[in-house]
Amino acid sequence: MPTTLEKALSRIAAQGLEPTFAKLQRGIEKESLRVAPTGKMAQTPHPAALGSALTHGSITTDYSEALLEFVTPIHSSIDSLLKELTDIHHFTYQHMGDEKLWVNSMPCVVEGEELIPIARYGSSNVAKMKMAYRRGLGHRYGRLMQTIAGIHFNFSLGDEFWNGYLESHSPTDLLDQRSAAYFGLTRNFLRHSWLPCYLFGASPAVCKSFLRGREHNLPDHDPNSFFAPHATSLRLSDLGYSNNAQAGIQVCYNSLESYVDGLRQAIRTPHVEYQKIPSTIDGKFQQLNPNLLQIENEFYAVIRPKQVAQSGESPSRALIDRGVEYVEVRSLDLNPFNPVGITQDCIRFFDTLLVYCLLSESPQLTRDEREQTAENRQRSVMKGREPDLELDLNGRSVPLKKAGIDLIQQLEPVAALLDQAHGGNNYATALAKQTKKLHYPELTPSARILAEMEANDTGFYHFAMQQAAEHEEYFKNLKMDEGTLAQYQAEATESLIEQQRIEDSDTESFQDFLESYFQRQNA
């Protein structure tokens, strides 16, 4: 009997939909810490020449004032996507003085939480909400955890594909089927999420200042660094994004309705420890509410189904009203060997894996299986390069190496489809490179980082600073055409004007603004 994937590929061929795969839609959100020449986190304000972090479409901040976030619009071309990300880096470097962008996911030298300033967005109600949310994150998880950086990869297929592939009889039916298909993709990605962690994890070591005062069992690498000998991504381990309260949140990925219900239940459920956080200090809100989640964005997951939210609209409201538009993959570390933190081969691998996850059979995800997928991912991030590491796949112990090779073989027909759509053999080549990493773990980014540290007899700090200096030189030596430069300068100026307009238009109190927001969310 043909598999679900084989049937899907036959259907795509019969309906002549191969060309639609040349129009895959991708966007990147990339975080990077600004650091002083010493490697310590920058204490300076967000550079004014970069515009308003509140309203700028491409250059903003995440948790900290020093944690830049670069956001690209959607691109159907990998080349244009990476060119835009390069342009954003280049423009930013022109306005950073002697500061650098930290190139690793795990942070630089940190001298205490009091020296991690939360991001500032102005005096408007929406700005106050963003800052109150960040204060809440600091109280709940510690400010240190919020200095970790990553890449979020946004992915979708265009309307031309969906209109031809789905058997729908109305616009509403089309949206429902599309959402169901994206949730199937999400479930399958969770099942296979251990593999991209192995292939692209790039945080096997950490500065000792990050773990000061915390319990852990990492050995010393050198006087200033800890490491895990076979780790791939400490960022995704319990030492990175982790929280005991979130471990108890049960979000179901079996349907849009169950997913939203799980998130909203967490937003409505008080948590005893969070109730101890003062509501205000010096007149400033310390969190948005004392519940398990303040808002949906607080839910840390390696993948999230998304819909573009309109002004004042919550993510769950957007999902309910307009269905899933794309998925956001959140499991990527910054690649310190690449100036923009991500390579074409990595993007092509994720294209292939995500299309495979979409077209393959995706049974409902039980609670036991969800826990099993999380356990496999943790084995991969902490011990992925351990020679005899085994995963628990459908109740069987399977060596990670064998499981990875088998999975990549299953991806090959999808890579062939994407090569047919784009021309050439770039997708097949990208897959072959990932197979090589399974045969030769020393080719993985995590192993290369440790090898560089060993070869140069240095620690994590010196490795990262050397890479940061090389990337700084790369971007400062680039030439940006006058039109592109003028475009970025104009966007920066317009974003400052827009922030002022928002501040001038506020008429209600912040308390009323918050109450109105949560009323709309739970309607």
Tens-digit pLDDT profile for residues 1-50: 789 999 999 999 999 999 999 999 999 999 999 999 999 999 999 999 99
Interatomic CA distance for residues 422 and 427, integer angstroms:
9
pLDDT digits (tens, 9 = 90+) for 381-432: 999 999 999 999 989 999 999 999 999 999 999 999 999 999 999 999 999 9
- Are the CB atoms for 318 and 175 separated by under 8 Å? no
* In the predicted structure, residue 130 carries a pLDDT above the cut 90: yes
**Hey, CA dihedral for 161, 165, 168, 172, is it positive or negative?**
negative
Interatomic CA distance for residues 116 and 113, integer angstroms:
5
Instruction: Return the domain boundaries, the chain.
Output: 4-521
The more confident residue out of 244 and 255 is 255
- Residues in Cβ contact with 323 at an 8 Å cutoff, skipping those fewer than 6 apart: 175, 176, 178, 179, 256, 307
Interatomic CA distance for residues 332 and 329, integer angstroms:
8
Least confident of 175-179, 296-300, 359-363, 499-503: 296-300
Q: What is the mean pLDDT of the chain?
A: 94
pLDDT value of position 244: 61
* In the predicted structure, residue 140 carries a pLDDT above the cut 80: yes
Q: What percentage of residues in the chain have a pLDDT greater than 70?
A: 98
Residue 151: strand pairing partners: 30, 332
* In the predicted structure, residue 451 carries a pLDDT above the cut 90: yes
Residue 29: strand pairing partners: 71, 152
* In the predicted structure, residue 248 carries a pLDDT above the cut 80: no
Q: What percentage of residues in the chain have a pLDDT greater than 90?
A: 86
- Architecture of the CATH domain 4-521: 2-Layer Sandwich (3.30)
